[in-house]
Amino acid sequence: MNGHIPFGVADYFWDEASLRQSLLDALLETFRGWGYGDVIPPMFEFDSTLSAQYDDRLRSGMYRFLDRDGSTLSLRPEFTTPVARLVGARLHDWPMPQRFCYGGSVFRYLEPQAGRQREFWQVGGELIGAPSPAADAEVLAINAAALKAAGLTEFRQIVGHIRYYRGLLEALALNPEQAQQLHWALERKSEPLLAEFLRETPLRTGQRQAVETLPQLVGENVDAILSLAERHIQNRGMHEALRNLRQIVDALDGYDTLNSLVIDLTEIRNLGYYTGVTFEAVTPGLGTAVASGGRYDDLVGRFGPSQPAVGVALGVDRLLVAKQRQEGADAKNRTRRQRTVLALPRGSAAALVQVQRLRQAGVRIQVDVNDWSADRAFGYAGETDVVDVLLWEEEFMHYRRDEGGDFVLIGPLEADCLSPPQTTCAEIAGQSK
């Protein structure tokens, strides 16, 4: 036994663990506030269930293994597909729309980067059974609310629409190599590659102009970009994509999110199952997206009656990194986790009764189980971040660590002295010196 752990996973403990857990809770609480109910899908499923609609990049990044009966299983690389399966296969006759939220580990066999290991955490929500732009707007707005709940003040949501690009591809009727060339040029926002594509591909004037305009369909001026895009519509698909985007933007009116919107009709990286609006959230201090989502109207139907759906997932690990980088130096005096109190009952049942009472009042207390002396307890407390020690002498006597690291007697325990906030208690300690 050497105690190593596999590449791509991590232990989280102490402050890091509690920070992570409380971020997860805060994000989930945001979704619950919007009427999303908890769902806990399994950690692994049949590979065929999960991977059918993924793109190559995600599919090649899945952890696969064999069940004892020989069937191929995969660790979940995201939550949307399991939730779609649940609704499609089992909850399809329950009234729509259905709202679900989730949080937990997902697994991808990728190079670890920017706070993201091969096991990383997602929180997200899915709104199933509503095709309307208002549903898309809700998910964009809830994403913004969740990012704010995570403590990010500055972020952008980059919104695209997969049907605009698919419509254009249809109109251009490209062969696979040409389509690949255009895809590459857009994915890398490369002007030279786009110029090369235009040079080598024979196109009608209108189509050529539509492709030439693509790089300009990026920016904050939502209205101007949509108007420009409308001038280069080649078919019904492109038209509907833009109309849908406009309706979504209109439906966002009233939510406090419009100033964070950036339109990018050339953003075409995605998981493969999206059918409508797609979006990513970016924030200063992190080079990659902290959240992404979109509409996927064809996924639930793979498992049961077809249902329109839209959802978003936030990367907990990346949020933590972004938050840490944005807060920078002043992160140290931020709210620390609540410290536990150490109580020495010294064999007294009455002491334990008192401890239970304090716990019910919300104080976190660990009880000495080694029958320590006061000095031994102070020694342990001094090394482990414990500030308050209670010694039982008919009643609890309250000792507190001072700046010099020595434990000084404050006096008999006063009930509100331990429960957070502990400011009143600090004053008492000051007076008693």
Nearer to other proteins, 47 or 280 (CB): 280
**By CB under 8 A, which span of 29-37, 142-150, 189-197, 204-212 interacts with other proteins?**
189-197
Q: Is 183 among the residues that bind other proteins (CB under 8 A)?
A: no
Q: Is 264 among the residues that bind other proteins (CB under 8 A)?
A: yes
Nearer to other proteins, 119 or 196 (CB): 196
Two tokens at 398? 């309250």
- Quick check: helix, strand or coil at residue 174? coil
Site for other proteins in 16-75 (CB under 8 A): none
Rounded to the nearest whole angstrom, what is the least distance from the CB of residue 280 to other proteins in the complex?
A: 9
- Quick check: helix, strand or coil at residue 103? strand
Binding mask 365-404 toward other proteins (x if CB under 8 A, else -) reads ----------------------------------------
Please tell me the distance from the alpha carbon of residue 303 to that of residue 221, in angstroms, as a whole number.
40
Q: Is 190 among the residues that bind other proteins (CB under 8 A)?
A: yes
Two tokens at 57? 């990049």
Rounded to the nearest whole angstrom, what is the least distance from the CB of residue 331 to other proteins in the complex?
A: 11
Site for other proteins in 273-302 (CB under 8 A): 282-289
Rounded to the nearest whole angstrom, what is the least distance from the CB of residue 320 to other proteins in the complex?
A: 15
Give the closest residue to 145 by CA, choosing from 20, 320, 314: 314
Pick one of 6, 176, 192, 430: the residue that binds other proteins (CB under 8 A): 192
Rounded to the nearest whole angstrom, what is the least distance from the CB of residue 213 to other proteins in the complex?
A: 16
- Contacts with other proteins by CB under 8 A: the residue count is 25
Rounded to the nearest whole angstrom, what is the least distance from the CB of residue 225 to other proteins in the complex?
A: 12
Pairing of strands 156-161, 261-264: parallel
- Asked whether the beta carbons of 217 and 266 are under 8 A apart, the reply is yes
Rounded to the nearest whole angstrom, what is the least distance from the CB of residue 57 to other proteins in the complex?
A: 10
Q: What is the DSSP letter of 118?
A: S
Question: CA torsion sign, 214 to 314 to 251 to 155?
Answer: negative
Nearer to other proteins, 187 or 371 (CB): 187
* Distance (Å) of CA 135 to CA 36, 42, 191, 228: 13, 27, 35, 25
Binding mask 299-338 toward other proteins (x if CB under 8 A, else -) reads --------------------------xx-x----------
Q: What is the DSSP letter of 253?
A: B
Give me the residue label for tokens 């990010």.
152
Spell out the alpha helix ranges (H) of 231-315.
Answer: 236-251
Q: Is 148 among the residues that bind other proteins (CB under 8 A)?
A: no
- Asked whether the beta carbons of 229 and 245 are under 8 A apart, the reply is no
Give the closest residue to 269 by CA, choosing from 191, 188, 195, 198: 188
Nearer to other proteins, 241 or 262 (CB): 262
Burial of 349 (C-beta count, 10 Å sphere; 0-12/13-18/19+): exposed
Binding mask 83-122 toward other proteins (x if CB under 8 A, else -) reads ------------------------------xx--------
Length of the chain (residues): 433
Q: Is 262 among the residues that bind other proteins (CB under 8 A)?
A: yes
Rounded to the nearest whole angstrom, what is the least distance from the CB of residue 11 to other proteins in the complex?
A: 23
- Quick check: helix, strand or coil at residue 152? coil
Q: Is 222 among the residues that bind other proteins (CB under 8 A)?
A: no
Burial of 417 (C-beta count, 10 Å sphere; 0-12/13-18/19+): buried
Q: Is 223 among the residues that bind other proteins (CB under 8 A)?
A: no
What are the residues binding other proteins (CB under 8 A)?
113-114, 154, 156, 158, 188-192, 219-220, 262, 264, 282-289, 325-326, 328
